[in-house]
Amino acid sequence: METSMDDMTLEYSTNAVNWAELAEVYRLAPLGTYDPAQLKRAYERSEVCCFAYRGTQLVAAGRALSDGEYFAFICDIVVLPEFQRQGIGTRIMNAMSEKLAAEKTLLACVIGQEGFYRNLGFLRHKSVMALYPNAEWYKENGLLE
């Protein structure tokens, strides 16, 4: 399904979000299974949130953390599969970047999506470390060394 950007509305408030609907966007994207209540807390604690709607349908979202000075971290960019590759993720990234007050922005992305972020000006960082509770799964899937 092809859609135009004119059909999309961006919202920055978490007030009207249907968290079960957002959890379904994550599941279908596919970025994993998330508990709606935990998603709500995570988004409400984030510095910047952005939700893309086509009419009343939530089709994409993003969130970022920031210290307001030096560092920001893009936590999530999620787009329903039928709306991917139509510029919605780029629009969310640009909108969030405008709102983030930080010198440097970091992110972790799904393997295979590096080109999307490279097109937005991101470069590969060679010295980022990570601590995960289920590190073995991430090692087995090539995400951690």
Residue 37, domain member (yes or no)? yes
Residue 128, domain member (yes or no)? no
Distance CA 122, CA 138 (A): 23
Q: Is 87 left (phi over 0), alpha (psi -120 to 50) or beta?
A: left
Domain tally, the chain: 1
Closest CA to 92 of 142, 37, 29: 29
Residue 43, domain member (yes or no)? yes
Residue 134, domain member (yes or no)? no
**CATH code, 17:** 3.40.630.30
- Domain assignment of residue 62, given as a range: 5-107
Residue 48, domain member (yes or no)? yes
- List per-residue pLDDT tens for the chain, 145 residues long: 444 456 899 999 999 999 999 999 999 999 999 999 999 999 999 999 999 999 999 999 999 999 999 999 999 999 999 999 999 999 999 999 999 989 999 999 888 899 999 999 999 999 989 999 989 988 998 888 8
Residue 132, domain member (yes or no)? no
